[in-house]
Every structure is written in structure tokens, then in C-alpha cells.
Amino acid sequence: MKNQAKKVKKVFRLTEAEKRLYMKLKQAYDSTPLNETERKILAKYDKLCSEGRWAEMTKAENDLHKDLHKRSGKGRLPDHAMPSRIPKFTRKSNFLQQVVFLWGKSKGFCPRIIDVKGTYVDGKYIQSGATKGVEDVQILAEGLFIAVEVKVGRDKMSAHQERQRELILRNCGVYLEAKDIDIVDRLEEVMAEYRRNRED
């Protein structure tokens, strides 16, 4: 049998500035206080664990429990002892999506990453059913809808994406293209302007 070379996934190398920004956003999110709903969810999960019924929780519930427990301060490490591990990203676009998502979470907004990729079922490709041209990240921030489309390198807007942008702008939303980490500064500027206009 011939030796088959293992395929090694390429890892996108972050610059020092990108690493610092990611950790800054992650630590900012970890320090956000729990809201009333989150406190109730945490109490429910804590009760299950104290009764030895943690096996009844799904993986998603376990992950949420860990996240809420850490933010509650019950198991939080001091800042100097915070782990510095950063997830590995295979593409810059994936990294930028996570940066935008983390920024929204750290501000207490409602962000979500839109996955337009389909899946394979029994060897057959099934399309996701997502709207063609939908943006990569959506953020609901204090009543403002912000759409962020990640475009790296030579990647350009498709006709469907241009149409989606026009629909969002027409309905008083904000549409941004993320090409680099300066997207965080632009998001901050958008929110500052939005708040100024709201006070007038």
C-alpha cells in the first residue's frame, strides 16, 4: 500500500495587532455583566449540576453554562492569569467574522454570524436555504440594524450582495464591508454617530 500524504489545513497567521485586538474584545466580553435572563439561565444550569444531572444538558447548553459561569465572576481568573490562547483560523475572512461578532457581544448587542454554506447528507449536497447575497454578520445595536459583509483580497460584491445592500440602506440600516481590523473603528464611529443623531 502506498503511503498517502496527510492533508494539512493551512492556518491563517495573525499579526500582533490582530492578536491584541482579538484578546481585547474577548476579555471585554468576558467582563460584561449578566442580564436578568442570563442569571435565570445560569441558576437553572447550576441547579442541574448541583443535583448531579449535568448529563441531561446538551453540548450547546454546557457551552452556554461555562460562558455564563465565567462571566458571573464565580470562576473568573484574574486578568493577569487569563489564558492567552487564540483560536486558529484557516482564513482571514473567518477571523474578521469572529472579530465583528465579538465586538457586538462585548457591547451587549445582538450579533449573529450568518452561515450560508450547505451541508452534505448521504453524499448529497443540500443548500442552506439562506437568502442569496445575505451579509456575513448581522448586529442589532440599540435599535440600529448593522450588516457587515467580509471581503478579503480580490473578493468583490456579487449582484445579489449589491441588491441586499441597497435593501438594507433603503430601510435605514447600515451596511459595511470588512476588509481588515479597522472594521472595529468603523463600527464604533457608526454607533457614535447614531447616538448623536438620536439625542438631537
Instruction: Pull the grid cell for residue 82.
Output: 487569563
Domain boundaries, the chain: 12-86, 89-200
pLDDT tens across 18-76, in order?
999 999 999 899 888 899 999 999 999 989 888 988 788 888 988 888 888 888 877 55
Task: Look at the domain 89-200 and name its fold.
Answer: Trna Endonuclease; Chain: A, domain 1 (3.40.1350)
Query: What pTM was estimated for this model as a whole?
Result: 0.82
Cα distances from 48 to residues 59, 65, 69, 110, 178, in angstroms, run 14, 11, 14, 27, 42
Cα distances from 107 to residues 56, 85, 103, in angstroms, run 32, 22, 6
